[in-house]
Structure 1
Amino acid sequence: MNSGSAPSKNTLLRTRRLIGALCWAFFLASATQAQVLVVGDSIGAGYGVPEQRNWVSLLDAELKDTRVINASISGDTSSGAKSRLPALLNHFSPKLVIIEIGGNDGLRGQPVKILKQNLTDMIAMTRDSGAKAILLGMRIPPNYGKAYTDAFHDTYHKVAQEQNVPLLPFLLEGIALNPALMQADRIHPNEKAQVKILQNVLPLVQQSLH
């Protein structure tokens, strides 16, 4: 014998209406929330830094009405990022794509023409999806030779100019030459540097979202 009384039809109806209203409200909130997609390498992934304290997570916290999705992979190259991008665009439908890639191309001494083509293709893919793109520039250590390091860094400027996309010339400006802000490998920024990276990136992101 059931010791509890069954809910009335009116109670069930009210419950269903409430659940429906909550689901609809959640859908509207999700639909109106702009999404930012970060496609990068170890600098974007926050190598050696707690996930919640890397600059992408800080950016997500700063942009109150915008969800920031971090699709960065440590060790990735521009070729790898380009191959991953179509699926990411299809899955997340972002409003803005932050392209933070190329450092590993330079550290491996890959031809800059490959980097240039990959960055150009990623911007085209992003635009074709209906999203905006911004490009974060990078530098590599001078021991790779002046001709190559200059050509590498200039590639970001050339792509940004040719494709008419916003460019942050050097993501690690004010950081890379400060030992107190770099990890022991002198390649990756440490936890203290993450706020500074956010400060470098934030104005460009805010401008691109409006």
Structure 2
Amino acid sequence: MRALAACRRRAAVAGMALLLALVVPPAQAEERPLLLVMGDSLSAAYGIERQEGWVSLLDERLDGKANVVNASISGETSSGGASRLPDLLGQHEPHIVLLELGGNDGLRGLPPRQFEANMADMIEASQAAGAEVLLLGIDIPPNYGQAYRDAFTGVYDRLAEEFDVPLVPFLLEGIALDDSLMQDDGIHPTAAAQPRILDTVWPELAPLLEENGLTLAVHD
């Protein structure tokens, strides 16, 4: 009887091990880099289908080799992003944070120093949480005046230098002045522009992915 009971216990343990193997993700899945995108409407696929946005295209390009969390909200400012980020860092524990904010600050004419302080807070919080940061810069229309535009765009350069983080100087490079790639509002890119946005981001993002253990056979 004792031998029979022992056999039953071993069978039960083996069955439980098999069940766990089926339902628990493999260790490799848990070790995949996680990317957190903190942006505004440019990253939230405003005016187009969400799956057409550049962040969704990034997720497709990574093909399961990394996880992508898009925490972008249309209309988001650097102040709003700074207030939301700590909870998101704790929830997702990202390896890489992509900061695409500032456009709404600029369009509202907010002081560049305030914008810079908010962005600095987000970079510091991300780095303190063990994440690397990629800055995605943006520009504002010429009618805001060259002095303000220079002060605004200069924030990204200073932050990149101060915190030693990579920078994409202008997310909409080659797109913003092409009417065929912009929606009627002249601010938001079309679906056709989204692959070009991703191609603009990729050269700065790829080295961060490699540093986090991702073998990049994901883009030909």
Output one character per residue of 1:1-53: Cα deviation in whole Å (capped at 9) or x when no partner: xxxxxxxx6876654332111234x0524311110000000001010111111
Q: Distance in 1 between matches of 2:167 and 2:105?
A: 19
Instruction: After TM superposition, give the deviation of residue 207 of structure 1 in Å.
Output: 0.9
Matched, 1:30 2:63: no
Q: Distance in 1 between matches of 2:43 and 2:26?
A: 29
| 2:133 match | 133
Q: Distance in 2 between matches of 1:143 and 1:127?
A: 36
| 2:218 match | none
Q: Which amino acid in structure 1 is aligned with residue 53 of structure 2?
A: N
Q: What fraction of aligned residue pairs are identical, expressed as a percent?
A: 48
Instruction: After TM superposition, give the deviation of residue 76 of structure 1 in Å.
Output: 0.5
Q: Which amino acid in structure 2 is aligned with residue 138 of structure 1?
A: I
Stretches of structure 2 lacking an aligned partner (at least 5 in a row)? 1-7, 212-220
What are the residue-to-residue correspondences of 1:40-79 with 2, within 5 Å?
40-64=39-63, 65-79=65-79
| 1:164 match | 164
Stretches of structure 1 lacking an aligned partner (at least 5 in a row)? 1-8
Q: Distance in 2 between matches of 1:61 and 1:204?
A: 18
SS in 2 for 1:52: helix
Output one character per residue of 1:120-167: Cα deviation in whole Å (capped at 9) or x when no partner: 111100000001001001000011111111111111111111111100
Q: Distance in 2 between matches of 1:52 and 1:15?
A: 40
Q: Distance in 1 between matches of 2:203 and 2:62?
A: 11
| 2:178 match | 178
SS in 1 for 2:38: strand
| 1:6 match | none
SS in 2 for 1:69: strand
Q: What's the TM-score once normalised by structure 2's chain length?
A: 0.87
Q: Distance in 2 between matches of 1:27 and 1:151?
A: 48
| 2:146 match | 146
Equivalent residue pairs, number: 202
Matched, 1:114 2:145: no
Q: Distance in 2 between matches of 1:30 and 1:122?
A: 27
SS in 1 for 2:174: coil
Q: Distance in 1 between matches of 2:26 and 2:111?
A: 46
Q: Which amino acid in structure 1 is aligned with residue 138 of structure 2?
A: M
Q: Distance in 2 between matches of 1:155 and 1:13?
A: 59
| 2:102 match | 102
